[in-house]
Amino acid sequence: MVITDFLERNARLYGSEISLVELNPSEERDKVTTWWDFNLIESAGTDAPYRREITWKDFDRRANRFANLLLSRGLKKGTKVAILLMNCIEWLPIYFGILKAGCIAVPMNFRYSSDEIKYCLELADVEVLAFGPEFISRMDAIADNLGDVHTLFFVGKDGPEYTENCLELMGYCSSSAPPVALSESDYAAIYFSSGTTGFPKAILHNHRSLVCSCETEQNHHSQTRDDVFLCIPPLYHTGAKMHWFGSLLSGSRAVLLRGVKPEWILRAVTEEKCTIVWLLVPWAQDLLDALESGKVDKNKYRLSQWRLMHIGAQPVPPSLIKRWLEMFPHHQYDTNYGLSESIGPGCVHLGVENVHKVGAIGKPGYKWEAKIVDENGNPVKRGDVGELIVKGDGVMLCYYKNEEATNEVLKDGWLYTGDMAREDEDGFIYLVDRKKDVVISGGENLYPVQIEDFLRAHDKIKDVAVIGLPDARLGEICAAIIEIKEGMECTEEEINTFCEQLPRYKRPRKIFFEKVPRNPTGKIEKPALREKYCKGRLVEAQITG
């Protein structure tokens, strides 16, 4: 079975039912369109209507049209086709159209600069790119120098002269399934690593990986056809799309929300009757801050049907979940651990029945194995810290065109995640930190995530990042970059006093007050912080006591 089989099944069984809804809260007009309504072309971009929707039948037909468009241009099985779009109702049909044509989908990060777009297109050997109006200026800068990219499709109205109008051309293509045979071993997609540890690497997956993600997600969260999934994170990332795969497998509706304001999230849950919401840590924090401060009134929204909130993509502070369950005591909560290299959600997962273990990432997910090993690949004793490794059908095939990096992380079918972890007496796994983020100070290993979780319990701290700074005496010292909650003031003395509860060697030696930078999937951009605070200087620690 391949991933496109699920779409065709849903079109056959639930054709007239709504599959996708797109909400644009910044638009006040209550205009509703379907994708193939040509009003869409007139209103594409910043003037999009507030709400758009598409049925399962039209979803499948649009995917077929895009697949046939690609085939009409002579594209062969295995050709790489990139997508550079903001979350929108066109995104998933185009993605599935690429797969139906036997091509390899290459989703692109919408935060990429022109140079990064060019780099990733070249790295993945992309030949065709579909992009939207938000990226015109970035594409203008590189359109004449894109190497093997020979076709640029524009998704919208009035594209640059070097593009072809994707939606208009699709109107002339057949809506029947293309005559392309697919197997689970066929290459399906190239995703890019988040770049938190360096420049992005291209991650190659096959159809078996995508199906594994479908089955894992639906098993973990028990989606039925009555569920409505609110998708806010970017679809280019494996996490968001693979969580949506639970809706694909169950034939249930999903809502794409373009915006992260707390009131927009609650309005979407209310109007669309959403039952499942996947959040990133910063959005959950903002929502709680807004509700607890009274800026947003929970009583104005209908939220009783909302049954599950889950978080992934980065370590989740236990203090955040405690606050959440106090605000929403009827909610189930889950957290999912995964990497783009392990096709997104759930190679390790907590489980809604294990809320008493908040702080853990959980146990091996459905159809997954996990171990914690030492530097020689041998299992460590329970309770000891080692590197987390995972195994399952969702493990990547390789880093595309990077054999050396592939061999570093793939060994005997196991993916070495680079995350340091420990296992408790009940078999639950706890992340300690990224292997590359461990701070070695005076011979002691310090794990920033542990210090960050401690600091987040301070009632004035909204977010925090801990990094190592070079030190002439100790090698490294810990520095805390602290983001204070809106409307509050905090001093370095207050933080130092609070940290007296920590062992002396774990206390941050430097405190900086500023906003904590996070990427679109919620991960702290520690390389950027190291670049700012470490480059070209040694920091003299203030050693006291």
How would you classify the pairing of strands 475-484 and 461-471?
antiparallel
* 3-state SS class at 209: helix
Closest by CA to 236, choosing from 383, 116, 82, 351, is: 82
The one-letter amino acid code at 32 reads V
Q: Residues 228, 274: contact at Cβ < 8 Å?
A: yes
Question: What is the token pair recorded at 443?
Answer: 């011979």
Q: Which of 362, 298, 354 shows the shortest CA–CA distance to 326?
A: 298
Q: How many CA atoms lie within 13 A of 228 on its CB side?
A: 19
User: Which domains, from first to last, does the chain contain?
Assistant: 3-259 (3.40.50.12780), 307-434 (2.30.38.10), 438-534 (3.30.300.30)
* DSSP single-letter state for residue 416: E
Return the SS3 of 167: helix
DSSP 374: -
In the block, residue with structure tokens 């895009």: 66
Rounded Cα distance between 266 and 286, Å, is 12
Exposure class string for 450-472: b at 16+ Cβ within 10 A, else e:
bbbbbbbebeebbbbbbbbbebe
Neighbours of 489 (CB within 10 A): 9
d(CA 183, CA 139): 34
Rounded-to-integer distance, Cα 337 and Cα 365, Å = 9
Give residue 498's region: left, alpha or beta (phi > 0; psi -120 to 50).
Answer: alpha
Q: Rounded distance, CA 130 to CA 111, Å?
A: 16
Largest CA distance in the chain: 77
Query: Contact at 8 Å (CB) between 101 and 76?
Result: no
What 3 state SS string does 90-131 have?
CHHHHHHHHHHCCCEEEECCCCCCHHHHHHHHHHCCEEEEEE
Q: CA quadruple 254, 257, 262, 268: dihedral positive or negative? A: negative
* CA 541/CA 441 separation, integer angstroms: 11
Specify whether the CB–CB gap between 403 and 381 falls below 8 A.
Answer: no
pLDDT by 10s per residue, the chain, length 545: 899 999 999 999 999 999 999 999 876 544 444 443 433 333 334 445 689 999 999 999 999 999 999 999 999 999 999 999 999 999 999 999 999 999 999 999 888 889 889 999 999 999 999 999 999 999 999 999 998 999 999 999 889 999 999 999 999 999 999 999 999 999 999 999 865 445 789 999 999 999 999 999 999 999 999 999 999 988 998 878 888 999 999 999 999 999 889 999 999 999 999 999 998 877 898 899 999 999 999 999 999 999 999 887 666 778 888 899 999 999 999 988 888 899 877 899 999 999 889 888 999 999 999 999 998 999 999 999 899 999 999 999 999 999 999 999 999 999 999 888 999 999 999 987 666 777 877 656 777 888 888 898 898 999 999 988 887 666 678 899 999 998 899 999 999 999 988 878 788 999 999 999 887 666 788 878 887 887 644 434 333 33
| Long-range contact pairs involving 116-122 (C-beta distance under 8 Å, separation at least 24) | 116/200, 117/84, 117/142, 118/142, 118/145, 118/146, 119/199, 119/200, 120/82, 120/192, 120/200, 120/202, 121/82, 121/146, 121/147, 121/149, 122/147, 122/148
